[in-house]
Structure 1
Amino acid sequence: MLDARPPVTQMQRSQGAAQVVMGRRGLIDLAQRGSAKAMLPRMTAGLPEIVFLNTSGGLASGDRLEFGVTLRPGTAALATTQTAERAYRAEGPPAQARVTLTLGADARLDWLPQETILYDGARLDRVTLVDLAPGASCLMIEMLVLGRLAMGERPTRIALSDRRVIRRAGRILHHDALALDDAALSRLSNHALTGGRPAMASLVLAAPDAPDRLAALRAVLDEPGVDAAASAPPGRLVLRALAGDGWPLRRQIARALAALRPDPLPRTWQV
């Protein structure tokens, strides 16, 4: 008898990695493969820019994406993404995303990616690791939007593991972790959590003088439709914000960045 079972479909998975090494005089090394690309625009209004791109158009089940930046001592740069990252519905294993940022002595990096949008059913495991040498500073943000809000989508199924770790001279300075699953989504309307607001952001400045900038940051936390608060633990400045939509959240983050850095926003941003 013929076997009536349908053939097993093997889905193609996206794999990509892009690594950039920069020194005071500019690019030292660039390595990229698969769906991950890194571009260095010649014309910038402030810091030298690194723009990362995922050419696969988003993250699906089993995909793996890696971005990395290494700054030599005394180097300053900005790294961002060309567009928002999207995590699509996944029936199999989660997509894997890794960001590795390594800063030499007295280097400065602004890691300012655009937001990540989680579609209903998305599965994403992401880790951002930052290693700082003495005197180095890093300003980093993470914006997360639950669902395609313009289409009225409100996810009911999600598996998210998102960790950000900053180490200085090998010792952990900041460890921020967010985990969401289906059960957690059902509780987000609780005011002790997000109050039902699907757009959220976290900003961290790790720098020797970070606590001194707390007053300047708090002075601009008044964007309509956004709830935000800032604190200054030793050696860092931390901001968390919640909003009902991604646009007011982005505007608030843009104002916060303007209060913390003298340079303009990345050219890929549109606020």
Structure 2
Amino acid sequence: MFDTGATAIRMQRSQGAAHVVMGPRGLIDLAQRGSAKAMLPRMTAGLPEIVFLNTSGGLASGDRLSFAVDLRAGTRALATTQTAERAYRATGAPARATVALNVGAGGWLDWLPQETILYDDARLERDTAVDLAPGAGCLLLEMLVLGRLAMGERPTRLHLRDRRVVRREGRVIHHDALALDDDALARLSGPALTGGAPALATLAMIADDAPDRLAAARAVLDEPGVTAAASAPPGRLIIRLLAADGWPLRRQINRLLRVLRPDPLPRIWQV
């Protein structure tokens, strides 16, 4: 007799970690394993670039992904991702992603990852931690797209916990968290959430002189199809953006980056 009883299928899980250490003269150390890779393309202009890649093609239930950058004193660099990250439908535990960024004294890091696309019923928990030494600063970007918009997908089920914490000498100076679940998605059109916009982003500059750039940022917040606002609490410039599609959101972010930083946009980006 054949056994027709249900058999639990153990799904293969993706795990990856990539860690880059850089000094003023370039790469000091590179460690990578599993699905996480880091590339350092040769640059002729602008900041040295670190490009992270998740070779698994996306994040599914139970996956683990870790990116880390350590900049020594006086080092300036840009870190980004090769393509948009995708969080797929999950049937079990959430995928977990961590980003650890350390910037030494007098250093600067632009953390400009490409967007994260959240499929219907995705489950993702992500923590981004930034540690700044005295005199260091950073520019942090986070872009989220809810659903495969080109296919008309709008998620009705979702579990997202996305947190960004910046510390200077161990003291928290910036904390930004977003939580979305099924109930929140049902109320997404409300003014307290996104007004129905499925593409959203936050751009945060952390530096003593960041508030001085407020006027320049507000002057370019006029991309059609994008709603945006900027504020400048002490030592920070915070810009939040909403759009009906990822492309106008990206165009608006590109314009902001051009006025906020002197360097070229990430070479890997499609602009």
- With normalisation by structure 2, the TM-score equals 0.98
State the partner residue of 1:107: 107
Distance across 1 between alignment mates of 2:171 and 2:221: 31
State the partner residue of 1:39: 39
State the partner residue of 2:199: 199
Query: Does residue 1:138 correspond to 2:138, yes or no?
Result: yes
> What CA deviation, in whole Å up to 9, does each residue of 1:204-240 have, x standing for no partner?
0001111111111111100000000000011111000
Q: Which amino acid aligns with 1:37?
A: K
State the partner residue of 2:161: 161
State the partner residue of 2:183: 183
SS of aligned partner of 2:221: coil
Distance across 2 between alignment mates of 1:163 and 1:132: 17
Deviation, 1:2, is 6.4
Distance across 2 between alignment mates of 1:237 and 1:44: 29
Q: Which amino acid aligns with 1:206?
A: I
SS of aligned partner of 1:264: coil
Structure 1, unaligned runs of 5 or more? none
SS of aligned partner of 1:22: strand
Query: Does residue 1:67 correspond to 2:67, yes or no?
Result: yes
Query: Does residue 1:252 correspond to 2:221, yes or no?
Result: no
SS of aligned partner of 1:249: helix
Deviation, 1:270, is 0.8
> What CA deviation, in whole Å up to 9, does each residue of 1:77-96 have, x standing for no partner?
00000000000000100000
State the partner residue of 2:23: 23
Distance across 2 between alignment mates of 1:15 and 1:155: 26
> What CA deviation, in whole Å up to 9, does each residue of 1:126-164 have, x standing for no partner?
000000001001001000000000000000000000000
SS of aligned partner of 2:11: coil
| Most deviating of 88-97 and 43-52 | 43-52
Distance across 2 between alignment mates of 1:148 and 1:237: 30
Count of aligned residue pairs for this structure pair: 271
State the partner residue of 1:219: 219
State the partner residue of 1:81: 81
Distance across 2 between alignment mates of 1:2 and 1:14: 33
- With normalisation by structure 1, the TM-score equals 0.98
Identical columns (%)? 77
SS of aligned partner of 1:150: helix
Deviation, 1:180, is 0.3
